[in-house]
Structure 1
Amino acid sequence: MNHIPVFIMEEIKLRGLKISDAPSLFQFMSQPDTMKYITPHPVLSLEEMEAYVEESLDGFRKQKEIPWVIEDGRGKCIGMFRFHKLNLWHRKTEMGAVIHPDYQKKGVMTQVLQSVLPYGFDSLELNRIVGDIFAENEGSRRLLNKFGFREEGVLRETDFDGERFQDTVVFSMLKREYEKINQTFD
């Protein structure tokens, strides 16, 4: 795994994260409302965003993560998606995404998953892909259910959002489940 693959879909493009993406990402990843289901501590400065990007790129070099930027049809940065906690020996990863508020609930993540799931299961030969979400994140819950992820359980009060503790719901898909779902569509 020496490069981050590019995926071109109907309305969006996934391409490898670059340090030059930091200013565009900072515009929405610094907004508490955008980050409410991810962290109570959004990035506070461009320097902090650049450090986050560098950390992600270092994770890629160490084969622990694959960070993508999501662009709209005009090449505008509208989000970030990544496989993180990537473990090629155990053949598993977790997914993480942040979408610009103007592009939420518009099918962006549906297109992303249509590309990254085949890449994860077929190209990387992963056995397990996880999406863990805050229990109140109904949009992500619907998305994961739509793609056939199974709800494994609730981890109680795992994260403090600055005001109260949040439960995390763990969803996963195994390769054999992915293959069974795809046979249905073939």
Structure 2
Amino acid sequence: MNHIPVFEMEKIKLRGLKLSDAPSLFPFMSRQDTMKYITPHPVLSLREMEAYVEERLAGFRKQTEIPWVIENEKGRCIGFFRFHKWSVWHRKAEMGAVIHPAYQRTGIMTEVFLAVLPYGFDTLNLNRIVGDIFAENEGSRKLLNKFGFREEGVLRETDFDGERFQDTIVFSMLKKEYEQVKQTFDQ
């Protein structure tokens, strides 16, 4: 794959990440409250944000991840989504997302899933897509449940958030499960 596909949905557009996106991503990916379910160490400078973007693009060149920027209908960067730990051989990937606080709980991630799940299963021919979340992340839990992801189990105190250890819940969807529920995505 030499380019990242573009998806235009009702409220959003997913397009390939570019280095020039760093200044738009930095204001919300540098916030502790936005990143609390991802890392205790958000980026501290524009240069760190640029390095993060460069790492994501290097991962794409190595075919280990696919990074997208999420834009609203006005073309404003409101989030970031990626397939990571992507393995062509094992036909699996994990999902990661960060949404600007002003756009959380507004249906943005529902539209992202409506684009990336068919792309992952139908185009990339993945057999397994994983979403692992901190146990306290109720928004992500609801989203994964809404789309029919199955809870596989809890990894106890697997991540340190800077103050305490967090349990991680692993969710997954298999291609055969996706095939059973994909017609409901169009409704």
- TM-score w.r.t. the length of structure 2 is 0.98
Distance 1:21 1:185, change over 3 A: closer
SS of the equivalent of 1:33 reads helix
1:128 aligns with 2:128: yes
Distance 1:184 1:48, change over 3 A: closer
Between the aligned partners of 1:10 and 1:116, the Cα distance in structure 2 is 14
Q: Which residue of 1 aligns with 2:111?
A: 111
Between the aligned partners of 1:18 and 1:182, the Cα distance in structure 2 is 30
Q: Cα deviations across residues 74-127 of structure 1 (Å, max 9, x unaligned)?
A: 000000000000001000000000000000000000000000000000000000
Distance 1:184 1:44, change over 3 A: closer
Between the aligned partners of 1:185 and 1:71, the Cα distance in structure 2 is 21
Q: Which residue of 1 aligns with 2:24?
A: 24
| Same amino acid, percent of matched pairs | 81
SS of the equivalent of 2:120 reads helix
Which runs of no fewer than 5 residues in structure 1 stay unpaired?
none
Q: Which runs of 4+ in 1 moved over 3 A?
A: 183-186
Aligned length: 186
**Alpha-carbon offset, residue 183 of structure 1:** 4.6
Which runs of no fewer than 5 residues in structure 2 stay unpaired?
none
**Alpha-carbon offset, residue 171 of structure 1:** 0.1
Between the aligned partners of 1:185 and 1:68, the Cα distance in structure 2 is 21
Between the aligned partners of 1:90 and 1:116, the Cα distance in structure 2 is 18
- TM-score w.r.t. the length of structure 1 is 0.98
SS of the equivalent of 1:14 reads strand
Between the aligned partners of 2:15 and 2:183, the Cα distance in structure 1 is 28
